[in-house]
Structure 1
Amino acid sequence: MEFVTKGVAAGASASYWWARAGLTIGTGTQHDAAIARELWSRSVPKHPLAAAGEAIEEGDYAAAEKSLESWSSEDPNDQSIKSILQTAAATGRGDFNRAIKIGIEGAADHPEGSGNTLRTAEALISRGHHGLSEHPLSDFARAFELAIQARDSRRAWLGDSVAPILTAVRASALATDIDQAWRLTQAPPEGTALPHEARDIRLRRESAILAATMGRFENAHSVAKSLDDPFVTHTIEGWEAFTDNRVQDAEEAWLQAWNHAPNDTSRLQTASALAPLGKRLPDLDTLPGEYSLAVDNIKTIHEVMSSDDEMSLLRVRASESEQTHGPARRKARCAGTGCRGGSPPRGRRHPLESPAVDAYGCRQIRDRRELREGVRRGRHCTLARRPGLGRTLRDPDDSV
């Protein structure tokens, strides 16, 4: 921030440069968000970029779009920033198709930057998981490609290549390719991360949790010890207990993880792990409204797993899901599983549309015990799923 301070003191626009400074910090963590808000408060008069950043951080995406619509610039870098923020706002409102369209156009207009490419990848992930995509696996595959493209671009100019790697990890995990997700976090010869990337605390945190979901607990504990992060430690303890069928210990560990979660996405991740236990859940109403579909999925799994009724609730939820999502969604779910798609055989339903059961493909769930086994088999996917862009701003000015 010293550069901005000196520039403003020398006569540069305080309104514009403090807006840019806040966007540079981003809102990826509560600490960063607090700093960004303070920097945006120095933008006087309030620049549209600062107003949009504040609105996105607060979840007021309509206000963000309104602020951006009122502002234009001839500078290519500013145009790229505007596209990135518009993509974030559209994604926050759940308009994933529009977000992807804006991101693709921004990337085409400003190919020298990686910001629009990365935002498009994140919007594709959101559409594939939360946006009723007709081809979710295709969305995840395309998101992975774009994230790797952004990673390689940033490597070329020594930018933050870890952020797109994390997006590629999410895309891989959602496609249930946990091995590929793991390789992205590891240095050669086991993985594809550069040495400095593999040492980055964000990637080490991800690798520790991935290791736990893969049953590599010695590795997971080793990384967690070096991180000294209670959220990571409790998350790993929960997966180890879950694997050993120590359900109460898993519940306690994951509730502790919720209490130490650094952000809303981590809390959602923890709630997704707790739901299949059918026991206590934290207060999901504290999560922002933008996560409502993911929260509904978590509650559905929890209700089924905690119900004494072996079939009635499952049938109700499966029926609701089928009516909501329709044949296009079912056809997408059947891709590559050997299922014929379309309507299921008479008297049967497709699995619940939820993270924990997604990995089960189109196999029919016959009773609650089978659902429980489906949840167990799908635990990697459940843990790795994230809600998408949400309220997080990252690298909005990386097009330079």
Structure 2
Amino acid sequence: MRPWLAVGVNYGNILRHSVEAPGEQLRGRWLVREAQLPDRLKELSRSSEPLILAAWRDEPDLTWSLVTALTSSEHRPSDVVAGWARHTPSWLRDAPSQVQIAAGDLADAYGAPILAADLFLAASEKGVGRRDFWLARAALLFRDHARPAKEGEALAALGAPAGVSEPYARIVVALLSGDTRTADRDLDRWSPSPADRALHTALRLRVLDAELNGAMPSREALDHAINLLAASLREQWTAGFAVGRARFLIWRVSRGHSPNAPADLRDAYDLAVRARDDRRRYRGDSAEAVALACQAALIADDFRSVLAVGTVARDGATEHEAAAPAIRSYVAAAAMQLGDLDLARDSASRVDDQALRARLHALAAEARGENARSHWLRAVELARDDDQQLAIALAGLADAGGLDPAQIEDFAARHPDEAAEILAMSDLATGNTDAAISQLRPRRRHSVTAALALAKAYQVAGQVDNQIRTLPERTISTTHRCTSPP
């Protein structure tokens, strides 16, 4: 079925009634565009298609300019919208609201969220349909990207919360004001149309994130997020939700909360590869998906799969993907494990992130049998206020036997369980096996990583029976210390 028929748009009528062609030459031009539009739409984000068709109905000339600009073979769509974000072309700035909405949705899909929010705000001032909905989307994007003045402008345009009747907008207003209870209640009351179900799921995840208030997610919170996304993907596939679910699955494994780590990592890898293929079709951010596939494979000790998906080859990464810093770091770590030190050095040398490079240098030193403490210390210093990076660096330093308990005090105040495991690793590395066992035993049923460390401690202590009883049925690797949890 042709895509415009699926959304109830009579394409022939659009062509006939949107423009009165004064002559055969102009009519011929429109017939050519009519024939080309379906193929052009296949090259763009599928989620934006209904908005593009709606804009075409009202403003075919400007919509054609929008579509052709983003489907040109000369430039990636992300580069085009980045240019528009720096200097919005006059035709887009002055375009009717429906064109601005379609352009904004595409800008969001291709990595220009502030441009998207600005276009939604501009369209709302021109009386676009579902005005409150687009104002709410703008406000949320401005909040996500720390534009408080613009967020306030969008919320002021919405008016008093009591006067907001659009369900999505009402929930966003509650969320942005910190009222998660009202947001959760209104989500329960909202029966979204099929077109809005993905947004409903996205808001559920935002409520969950707001309730965590910056804390590390619990097992229950991760399970809830993973299940929400699984249900949504069963109903309708979207690359964004696939990437999100892969990220949460990897996080569940990394946090030691997975009931079946190998299965979670396989699912994450498969979701990421499928999302990569989907995003390649419309030249979206396929590198993000490849990075997740590499991360899942690395944690699973499947180093050859990391190289297969993360390096340039016919069935591997594109040059654009392979150049991404995160992918280079995973390739470097996998290459070290496989003994390909030339590839490891080359990949690591191309990583700009200093904290990540320090972790890679530490792993390289360990692979050569050298003392890696100085590299882990440098990684701790560079992690600064990023607790995810700091946890990895502290764990590496502890495993190298170089952790000073004073170095972990602030982190322990924020994340006591994780700090207890890191301190136990330090005890084990420095020969204080009894203290390590004492620290890890209470955590063994709640954390796979704690159970693995406890089993290692029992092995060092010569308590083989306890080691066997402690080993979890499904274990994972701990060779992913170059990476940050998602």
Question: Given the two structures, how large is their TM-score scaled by the length of structure 2?
Answer: 0.57
Counterpart pick for 1:107 among 219, 223, 233: 233
Question: Using the alignment, how far apart are the partners of 2:379 and 2:177 within structure 1?
Answer: 28
Q: Indicate yes or no: 2:272 matched with 1:272.
A: no
* Structure 1 partner of 2:287: 162
2:301 is paired with a residue whose SS is coil
Q: Which amino acid aligns with 1:365?
A: Q
Question: Using the alignment, how far apart are the partners of 2:430 and 2:141 within structure 1?
Answer: 48
Report sequence identity in percent.
18
Q: Indicate yes or no: 2:129 matched with 1:9.
A: no
Q: Of the two, which has the highest radius of gyration?
A: 2
Change (3 A) 1:251 1:104: same
Q: Indicate yes or no: 2:345 matched with 1:221.
A: yes
Q: Which amino acid aligns with 1:168?
A: A
* Structure 1 partner of 2:141: 21
Contact persistence 2:443–2:451 (CA under 8 A): yes
Contact persistence 2:293–2:306 (CA under 8 A): yes
Contact persistence 2:300–2:477 (CA under 8 A): no
Counterpart pick for 1:251 among 363, 366, 373: 373
Change (3 A) 1:164 1:134: same
Q: Which amino acid aligns with 2:138?
A: W
Question: Using the alignment, how far apart are the partners of 1:41 and 1:283 within structure 2?
Answer: 40
Q: Which runs of 5+ in 2 are unaligned?
A: 1-113, 126-130, 159-168, 210-216, 468-475
- Using the TM superposition, give the Cα deviation of residue 276 of structure 1 relative to its aligned residue in structure 2, in angstroms: 0.7
Residues 112-142 of structure 1 deviation map (CA, whole Å, 9 limit, x = unaligned)? x222222222232333343543322222222
Question: Using the alignment, how far apart are the partners of 1:151 and 1:286 within structure 2?
Answer: 39
Paired positions, count: 331
1:365 is paired with a residue whose SS is helix
Residues 135-175 of structure 1 deviation map (CA, whole Å, 9 limit, x = unaligned)? 22222222222222222222222221122222222222222
- Using the TM superposition, give the Cα deviation of residue 301 of structure 1 relative to its aligned residue in structure 2, in angstroms: 0.9
Change (3 A) 1:223 1:315: closer
1:381 is paired with a residue whose SS is coil
Question: Using the alignment, how far apart are the partners of 1:121 and 1:294 within structure 2?
Answer: 22
Counterpart pick for 1:122 among 230, 247, 255: 247
* Structure 1 partner of 2:303: 178
Question: Using the alignment, how far apart are the partners of 2:480 and 2:153 within structure 1?
Answer: 41
RMSD: 3.9
Change (3 A) 1:256 1:207: same
Question: Using the alignment, how far apart are the partners of 1:273 and 1:260 within structure 2?
Answer: 14
Change (3 A) 1:167 1:69: farther
Change (3 A) 1:283 1:83: farther
Contact persistence 1:22–1:50 (CA under 8 A): no
- Using the TM superposition, give the Cα deviation of residue 186 of structure 1 relative to its aligned residue in structure 2, in angstroms: 0.7
Change (3 A) 1:381 1:280: same
Q: Indicate yes or no: 2:462 matched with 1:365.
A: no
Change (3 A) 1:132 1:107: same
Question: Using the alignment, how far apart are the partners of 1:290 and 1:66 within structure 2?
Answer: 28
1:44 is paired with a residue whose SS is helix
1:70 is paired with a residue whose SS is helix
Question: Given the two structures, how large is their TM-score scaled by the length of structure 1?
Answer: 0.67
- Greater relative contact order: 1 or 2 (C-alpha under 8 angstroms, separation 6 or more)? 1
Contact persistence 2:265–2:300 (CA under 8 A): yes
Q: Which runs of 5+ in 1 are unaligned?
A: 27-32, 56-62, 334-350, 372-377, 389-400
